[in-house]
Amino acid sequence: MEKTAVIRGKKYRLTFEDDFDGAALDSSKWELCPESRRQDAGGWWKDSEVMLENGCLLLRARIDEDGTPVSGGIRTLGKFEQAYGYFECRMMFPKTTGFWGAFWMMCGNVGKVDGSAVSGAEIDIIETGECPRRGVNHAIHWDGYGEAHKCVSKVIPSVPELYEGWHTYALEWSKEGYAFFIDGKETWRTAEPGVCEKPGYLKLTTEFGTWAAPIVPEELPDYCRVDWVRAWEAAE
């Protein structure tokens, strides 16, 4: 039976849902992010850092036996993509300095350099940012990741309460623009630099990087926990 809901006064139909209740990651919905080097702190995505426990997805971050920072990530590439709609996730942030958790989307051809995000964008629905300032971040990236790279973002500083317990983060993506929400409260709205028209896939990740301040090995391992993820499309 089709599942529908009224969200912010609009009727939506459910297109994607995972409550992570199984014994293993649902391969019909997700794949592990390829094991590869990430960011600028020498960290790697590693398959071993993704696990399910007590009905939650756990994305672990730790220092490997050889001293390499490793963390986990999953994505819906080739399994689920959607343009426009309402995308939401219930997460518990990590508290450790030096890495961050994120719920984001890769849409269209992000690498195309044309001065606009219409043909492709990275949409960061939520990133935990630098834990010492207890801030969070929403962002749109476009024009690739080289010299032409551009980004607009909204940093919400001094929110230590978001690093305690579970919170829900959401994106409402329409032809008119993007609206971001934390626990049902709108925190940012933008249409800059042109709204992406191409479908995107979902990503849940943890990463090490200097953007998140220096690594504190003594505080590791730590986890980004995800209770559930849902995607909705407008119902006619």
Of residues 216 and 24, which shows the higher confidence score? 24
Structure confidence at residue 132 (pLDDT): 46
| Residues 191-222: tens digit of each pLDDT | 988 999 999 999 999 998 887 778 888 989 99
| Residues 106-158: tens digit of each pLDDT | 999 999 999 999 999 999 999 987 644 668 999 999 999 999 999 999 998 88
Map out the domains of the chain as residue ranges.
22-226
| Residues 57-75: tens digit of each pLDDT | 999 999 999 999 999 999 9
- Give the count of alpha carbons within 13 A of 42, CB side only: 9
Q: Are strands 43-45 and 69-71 parallel, antiparallel or unpaired?
A: parallel
Length of the chain: 236
What is the fold of 22-226?
Jelly Rolls (2.60.120)
Mean pLDDT computed over every residue of the chain: 93
The residue with tokens 């993820």 is 229
d(C-alpha 97, C-alpha 131), whole Å: 6
d(C-alpha 104, C-alpha 101), whole Å: 10
Q: Which two tokens stand for residue 97?
A: 């300095």
Structure confidence at residue 229 (pLDDT): 98
If pLDDT is split at 50, 70 and 90, which confidence band does 27 have?
A: very high
